[in-house]
Amino acid sequence: MARPTRTAMGCTARHSAPSERVIARLIRWSIDNRLLVLLTTVLFTAWGVVSLVRTPLDAIPDLSDVQVTIRTTFPGQAPQIVEHQVTHPLATTMLSVPAARAVRGYSMFGDSFVYVLFDDGTDLYWARSRVLEYLNRCRMSPKWRASAAWFGNTRSFSIQIDCVPTTFHTAR
């Protein structure tokens, strides 16, 4: 803002601040060079429109880890039996899957869940095929059926075991 000061004659004079002088010169230059300002505005607008069109957008970004979920049903069995005969052998086998960062197993009444988490940047389909490959190496000879969820990156395997092992050692 301009600040009033007293002159020797008693009149007030206005002195402008340096930033006001720069802005005034910029406005004056823009008025004198209307064509150049208009051309620059059109170029920046076109650049913005092209950038907007070329920017890839994902409606639902996937921020979760790459993981494969193995769900095993063992109807009517206690969690301890499910843990010893299904969850532990599966989790132990999945520990050797390449690029697996963590393997987590959960057992409950009649169900077993084994989560295999992979390193960041691992292709989901590659991870699923490796889990399927190592799942086929299990000596439980499971019949499996796969169902994939469309949302996220979870692949679920439901395993029905034909011959249920009676002890932990025969499950390996």
CB 168 within 8 A of CB 92: no
Q: How confident is the model at residue 159 (pLDDT cuts 50, 70, 90)?
A: low
Q: How far is residue 63's CA from residue 13's CA, in Å, rounded to a whole number? A: 63
What is the domain partition of the chain in residue ranges?
15-54, 67-171
Question: How confident is the model at residue 16, as a pLDDT?
Answer: 67
Q: What is the pLDDT of residues 88-132, one digit of tens each?
A: 888 888 888 898 999 999 999 888 899 999 988 888 889 998 888
Tell me the percentage of the chain whose pLDDT exceeds 90: 26
CATH for 67-171, options being 3.20.20.70, 3.40.50.510, 3.30.565.10, 3.30.70.1430? 3.30.70.1430
Question: Bigger pLDDT: 12 or 19?
Answer: 19
Q: Would the pTM of this model clear 0.85, i.e. be above it?
A: no
